[in-house]
Structure 1
Amino acid sequence: MLTIKILGPGCANCRKLDEIARTAVADLGVDAEIVKITDMAAIIDYDVLKTPGLVVNDKLVCSGRIPTPESVKEWIRAAAA
């Protein structure tokens, strides 16, 4: 099972990234747990200085922007392989 973490305080961009990640997981039919991380100390531990951040299986794949849905699917596919 994949672990996907959405890093951010809960702003509109963080919510949008959460929505994109959930849609990507559903579209791909993979088994994944999506976790929201709002604690700033935990976010900084991933070297994220600008939110939102996206972590797939403990690897930071994106931060400071909202990635395209296709990019998120590619990161999930790569982690699931």
Structure 2
Amino acid sequence: MKKLHILGSGCTKCNTLADLTRQAADELGINYELEKVTDFLKFADYGVMVTPALVIDGKLAVSGRVPALDELKNLLSA
């Protein structure tokens, strides 16, 4: 099971990243757990300075932007 974390304040871009990440994982048939992290102090634990950010299995995958669906699929299948 992949552990996915969306880091952000809950803004529109953060929600879009969460929705696209769910869509990508569902389309790939990946078993996952998605958690939204809104605590700014925890962002530093992942080395995130700019949100939104996506962390896959504890590793920072994307920060400061919302990638396209195809890019998210590539990140999740890697």
- TM (normalized to structure 1)? 0.93
- Identity percentage over the alignment? 40
Partner of residue 15, structure 1: 15
> What are the within-5 Å matches in structure 2 for residues 1-81 of structure 1?
1-78=1-78
In angstroms, what is the RMSD of aligned CA positions? 0.6
Number of residue-to-residue matches in the alignment:
78
- Structure 1: 5+ residue runs without aligned partners? none
- Structure 2: 5+ residue runs without aligned partners? none
AA in 2 matched with 1:53 = A
- Runs of 4+ in structure 1 off by over 2 angstroms are none
Shift in Å at residue 67 of structure 1? 0.7
Distance in 1, matches of 2:8 and 2:43, equals 7
